[in-house]
Amino acid sequence: MVYAIIAGGVFLSDLILKRYMDKKYARKVRHPRLGGRIVLEKYYNKGAALNFMVKRPNLLRIIHTVILVVVGVFSYFLMRLSGHALEKTGVALLLGGGLNNLYDRYTKGHVVDYFHLNFGPKWLRAIVFNISDFCIFIGALLAVAGSEVS
């Protein structure tokens, strides 16, 4: 049950943030925060990370759906096992973030990204993220780390 709450919390919190950004911020206008270390900037991403497959949105939507179905089936069996807390947490984060971004793809035709980091390597500064993206990344790390521990 706790893992469903994690996934649902990720989905709902990012849904709320994306709606807020859509209503309150213009596209591609930078709003520095935390001394300029974080920059809010609404961006509509029709592709995957770094606009990968931007010209193939239908194929990307299908691939995204298939991946989430596979992760969902895996999580069904994983949740039936005792232990594996790290893996379960990772998969819950992956599902919440992945479902939220997929929801955007189906309902809007793009994913709403809204902040980027203004520190670190140049390539990292160029990426505009959303909370779901971070949850997918952290979730994947936790799931892999948990599988190594188990």
Q: Residue 55's Cα: distance from chain center in Å?
A: 20
Contacts of 27 (CB under 8 A, 6+ apart): 42, 43, 44
Please give the Cα distance from 1 to 79 (Å, whole number). 9
Two tokens, residue 112: 């709403």
Give the C-alpha distances (Å, rounded to integers) separating 87 from 57, 93, 139: 30, 10, 8
Whether 113 sits among the annotated catalytic residues: the reply is yes
Catalytic option among 14, 22, 104, 133: 133
Query: Beta-carbon neighbour count of residue 40 at 10 Å?
Result: 16
Please give the Cα distance from 78 to 84 (Å, whole number). 8
Q: Which residues form the catalytic set? A: 113, 133
